[in-house]
Chain A
Amino acid sequence: EVHLVESGGGLVQPGGSLRLSCAASGFTFSGFWMGWVRQAPGKGLEWVASMKLDGGDKYYVDSVKGRFTISRDNANNLLHLEVNSLRVEDTAVYYCVRVRGIVLLFDYWGQGTLVTVSS
């Protein structure tokens, strides 16, 4: 059974940084693209970032380009999202997602980790 477990969220001041992690199990991690989707409190879903199998190609939504970095550790089945220069509007639950195929279809989701940006 596929399991995705996020960690690393918390309360941070504007301009601060966090490193979100996602531990994957139940599938061959190195065989799948992975990504992050976020959801601000009471709002809809927003795709944030995705990356290919070996980390060669990475894709980001415009609003986080230059501030967020997605990475993966295939040896340990881990996905990371480094979030820097955080803004109040980055406050959201961040979901780790498994990507099906080479298109941005999200077939499995973690339970999410909450990032709160506030002074």
Chain B
Amino acid sequence: DIQMTQSPSTLSASVGDRVTITCRASQSISPWLAWYQQKPGKAPRLLIHKASTLQSGVPSRFAASGSGTEFTLTISSLQADDFATYYCQQYSSSSATFGQGTKVEIK
């Protein structure tokens, strides 16, 4: 199985900050990498697919990049609505796996 590792596990930031989350895969998965946002008590929401394609309706302050085994999600200017947990997910094989999550909290 492909293992996904996110860093950091927790990130403390302020409104307006630029934040970056990293996701590493145990083998090459390009370009089959997605990012989800989850708020407490809510279902996850798809933000990014195919490593860098923004899902419809997602604000342009979200951007993602990467290839092979290393990927990043960047929020260019953190807004109050962005404090949440973010998960990466590979879908390159017949089984999908998620990273452990990165909680973005208020500094």
Partners in one complex: yes
Point out residues on A near B: beta carbons under 8 Å: 44-47, 50, 59, 61-62, 95, 100, 103-112
* Given known A-B contacts A105-B34, A107-B55, A47 and B95 have beta carbons under 8 A apart: yes
What is the CB-to-nearest-CB distance from A103 to chain B, in angstroms, rounded to a whole number?
A: 5
Indicate whether B89 reaches chain A with its CB closer than 8 angstroms: yes
What is the CB-to-nearest-CB distance from B31 to chain A, in angstroms, rounded to a whole number?
A: 11
Which of B46, B55, B87 is within 8 Å of A45, CB to CB? B87
Chain B residues with a Cβ closer than 8 Å to the other chain, count: 24
Name the interface residues of B20-47: CB closer than 8 Å to any CB of A.
32, 34, 36, 38, 42-46
Indicate whether B98 reaches chain A with its CB closer than 8 angstroms: yes
Q: How many A-B residue pairs have CB under 8 A?
A: 55
Contact A45 B98 (CB under 8 A): yes
**Contacts of A105 on B, CB cut-off 8 Å?**
32, 34, 46, 49, 91
Majority DSSP secondary structure for residues of B touching A: loop
**Contacts of B89 on A, CB cut-off 8 Å?**
45, 47, 106
What is the CB-to-nearest-CB distance from B34 to chain A, in angstroms, rounded to a whole number?
A: 6
Sort A-B residue pairs by CB-CB distance and give the 4 closest, nearest first: A104-B96, A109-B43, A47-B96, A104-B91
How far apart are the CA atoms of A74 and B45 in the complex, in Å? 25
Which residue on A lies nearest to B45, using beta carbons?
Answer: A109
**Contacts of A45 on B, CB cut-off 8 Å?**
36, 38, 44, 87, 89, 98, 101
Indicate whether B94 reaches chain A with its CB closer than 8 angstroms: yes
Taken residue by residue from 72 to 107, chain B's Cβ proximity to chain A (1 for < 8 Å, 0 otherwise) reads as 000000000000000101011011111111000000
